[in-house]
Structure 1
Amino acid sequence: MLAALNRGPELAIHIRGAINNGLSETEIRELLLQTSIYCGVPAGIEAFKIPEKTINTMVKNGEYTR
């Protein structure tokens, strides 16, 4: 829903929570792939950018290891 509404900051918060609750990067990618199918590829492409940035920030800050 957040991807469809183009709510990047809120999506980033949920991505951070998902990682903290044990979702893998692969599971998040699969979720966003489904989002792309239902909400459209342009929304999906924008949505894929958010987790990449969020996860890279978490790795940089030592909050997450790949």
Structure 2
Amino acid sequence: MSDKAMFEAGLKNRREVLGAEYVDKSIAAADDFNMPMQELVTEYCWGEVWGRPGLSRQQRSMLNLGMLVALGRSHELRLHIRGAINNGLTKDDIKEVFLQTAIYCGVPAAIDAFRNAREVFKEMGID
């Protein structure tokens, strides 16, 4: 697949998972400095990796949530909580992921994850 085709495939995946509004805003706000990063993320992360057949989007979302908790990346975690919901994960699925992270990543990291999830659920109107 050409770089342009992989970018387009990645853009489609990225929009479906994170929401077109968020993705389009990120790309529109890019300038000469950070556009190469937008291209890299869209082509390789969302095209090459998220486009692979080996794992479902739900499985990829669960992995991302766990890794983002471990890394303490709250901003990205909030974004990927939304993506996980878009990929069909339930609040209970997300709860179980965060309980698992409490054991392997630490209780403070999991507490922060639960707090972020509750805020995202509220913003999304999810009871």
State the TM-score bracket (shorter-chain normalisation). Answer: 0.7 to 0.9
Aligned positions, number? 61
Gaps of 5+ in 2: 1-66
Q: Which amino acid aligns with 2:102?
A: S
Provide TM-score, normalisation by structure 2. 0.46
Please provide the CA RMSD for this pair.
1.1
Shift >4 Å, 4+ stretches = none
Distance 1:18 1:43 in 2: 18
Distance 1:2 1:18 in 2: 13
Distance 2:100 2:123 in 1: 24
Mark the structure with the bigger radius of gyration.
2
Percent of pairs identical after alignment? 54
Q: Shift of residue 6 of structure 1?
A: 1.3
Provide TM-score, normalisation by structure 1. 0.84
Task: Indicate the SS of the match to 1:22.
Answer: coil
Which one has the bigger helix percentage?
2
Q: Shift of residue 21 of structure 1?
A: 1.2
